[in-house]
Structure 1
Amino acid sequence: MPIAKRVEPATISFLLTGIEPLARIDAVLGMCAAITADGHGEHCRRLFDALLKSDPRPDPELMREAILQTHLFAGYPRALNALAAFRDACKKAGNPLSGEITLRDEPLEGDDPEGFRKRGRELFDKIYGDKAAQVDKFARANSPDLADWAIAEGYGRVLSRDVLEPRQRSLCIVAALVPLDVTPQLKGHVQGALNTGSSADQLWKLFDVVSRLFTEGAETRAAKRTFEDVLGKVVMSEEEFEEDRKWRGL
């Protein structure tokens, strides 16, 4: 069940203010991935519309890529619906996409299964580090087919595309998993985001931004505990504590 809240443009602008050391574009991409994973079409449309009207306007090509890759974690239907909402938002913003969206005669990445497996394995090993063999063994024990698709199609064909950096892709994965209540995968990808170059402070800022898109509930509380398991607890300053209470209406 979708847990996203109706968030106004002014709120989105506020969420993107004072988020150092997290880069603004990384926060934007994380928001796109998270709202896509949640699956509420109208909330997607409102967020994309507000982001494309913001100043400075984020690169729509990067936003679209963050939405697109989320099909690996939240499913094809939610990604497709979010892409439709994004296309509508682009039209309202004067079609800021570079070029037309057309059906390609050839796959964007060509057809190189072994090449996909090679670069997929490299990215998989980078994300999971010394846990890579263990994660792969677990996947293959449950479904060799799914394990192979994850390497070749997921990490190889999709996540190794050069539109986004591996670091940004990892942050988008983490953001997408926050509303989905999938603790084992979220835990692995929070660590994976560290392995691809993000800091604990950046990840906590990402959680702070993304979690405020959603109604506080079991999913967001479980996600916070998972962040704490990997990154350690964060002690709020008095100012941050009061701001958080105000945000939650306490």
Structure 2
Amino acid sequence: MDRICFVGKLANALSPGKSEELEKALATLVPESLPVDVAYEIVLQSYLFFGYAQAIESAKIFFGNLTKRGLKIPHSPDIAFDSASLRKRGEELCRSIYAPNFERLVANMAEVSPELSHWMVEEGYGKVLSRPGPTGMEREVASIVFLAISGHPVQLFSHVRGARNLGATREFLVSVVEEAGLKKPQKELIQGTIDKVFTF
């Protein structure tokens, strides 16, 4: 099984109300199937979708699980966190995922909320999603799982399309979703979205 399938499994276990599942996933997947730094980054990424409160609880479980097994928790990578650097990294990553739709995405979001438009690029993509560790495709798979669980079909469509823009095929996404261990309604939501994206 490819590493990216394990990213999907971990993303599923990071959702609210799954403390026991997260403990089991970490014990099973890290570090044998997922390097510690990659798993840690997916934990951090979850705050963009489930909020700080849930991410803090997940981080506590991550820390406790790895510490009791003698595994070292990764430190923050040596990257710049000033606003200009975050904006630059965020725009570069966001453009690579949304391709020609980037300018329209930012403009549409700015019309709804200039603050959220700014934070989406600088914080979401610049501060979190551009950090080293997971590949761009692994980040998109985690986002897809998070959005299916939280029930946001419009944003799910955007991230499935983003995965397609990064080179994912329909068959690849379907197989990754199958391995993530999602509930039937969540799998059906993703499958329907994949069908729309690949016929769009």
TM bin (shorter chain): 0.7 to 0.9
Residue 45 of structure 1 contacts residue 82 of structure 1 at CA under 8 Å; is this kept in 2?
A: no
Count matched residues: 199
| C-alpha spacing 1:98/1:76, structure 2 compared with 1 (3 Å) | closer
Secondary structure of residue in 1 paired with 2:130: coil
Greater helix share, structure number: 2
- Counterpart CA distance in 2 for 1:229 and 1:168 is 21
**In structure 1, which of residues 50, 53, 60 is the aligned counterpart of residue 36 of structure 2?**
60
Residue 90 of structure 2 contacts residue 126 of structure 2 at CA under 8 Å; is this kept in 1?
A: yes
The percentage of counterpart residues that share the same residue type is 25
For the aligned residues, what is the CA RMSD?
2.2
Asked if 1:227 is matched to 2:194, the reply is yes
- Counterpart CA distance in 2 for 1:74 and 1:91 is 24
Asked if 1:73 is matched to 2:41, the reply is no
Q: After the TM superposition, list the runs of 4 or more consecutive aligned residues in structure 1 that deviate by more than 3 angstroms.
A: 107-111
Q: Who wins on radius of gyration, i.e. which is larger? A: 1
Residue 174 of structure 2 contacts residue 191 of structure 2 at CA under 8 Å; is this kept in 1?
A: no
2:22 equivalent in structure 1? 44
Asked if 1:159 is matched to 2:129, the reply is yes
2:182 equivalent in structure 1? 214
1:96 equivalent in structure 2? 71
- Counterpart CA distance in 1 for 2:190 and 2:174 is 11
- Counterpart CA distance in 1 for 2:144 and 2:189 is 13
| C-alpha spacing 1:165/1:135, structure 2 compared with 1 (3 Å) | same
| C-alpha spacing 1:231/1:38, structure 2 compared with 1 (3 Å) | farther
**In structure 2, which of residues 107, 114, 125 is the aligned counterpart of residue 137 of structure 1?**
107
Please state how far the C-alpha of 1:98 moved relative to its aligned partner: 5.3
The superposition leaves residues 21-42 of structure 1 with CA deviations (integer Å, 9 ceiling, x where unpaired) of xx2x111112212221344222
Please state how far the C-alpha of 1:95 moved relative to its aligned partner: 2.4
Residue 113 of structure 1 contacts residue 152 of structure 1 at CA under 8 Å; is this kept in 2?
A: yes
The superposition leaves residues 127-182 of structure 1 with CA deviations (integer Å, 9 ceiling, x where unpaired) of 11122122212211111001101111111111111222222212221122221211
Instruction: Name the TM-score, length of structure 1 as normaliser.
Output: 0.72
Please state how far the C-alpha of 1:96 moved relative to its aligned partner: 2.2
Q: Residue type matched to 1:36 in 2? A: L
- Pairs within 5 Å for 1:138-217: 138-210=108-180, 213-217=181-185
- Counterpart CA distance in 2 for 1:121 and 1:185 is 18
- Counterpart CA distance in 2 for 1:68 and 1:34 is 14
Secondary structure of residue in 1 paired with 2:184: coil
Residue 66 of structure 2 contacts residue 72 of structure 2 at CA under 8 Å; is this kept in 1?
A: yes
- Counterpart CA distance in 2 for 1:108 and 1:39 is 33
The superposition leaves residues 194-217 of structure 1 with CA deviations (integer Å, 9 ceiling, x where unpaired) of 11233322211111112xx23323
Q: Residue type matched to 1:97 in 2? A: K
Please state how far the C-alpha of 1:113 moved relative to its aligned partner: 0.6
| Unmatched 5+ stretches in structure 2 | none
Q: Which shows bigger deviation, 112-121 or 166-175?
A: 166-175
The superposition leaves residues 78-111 of structure 1 with CA deviations (integer Å, 9 ceiling, x where unpaired) of 222112222222134x222356x6xx8xx96443
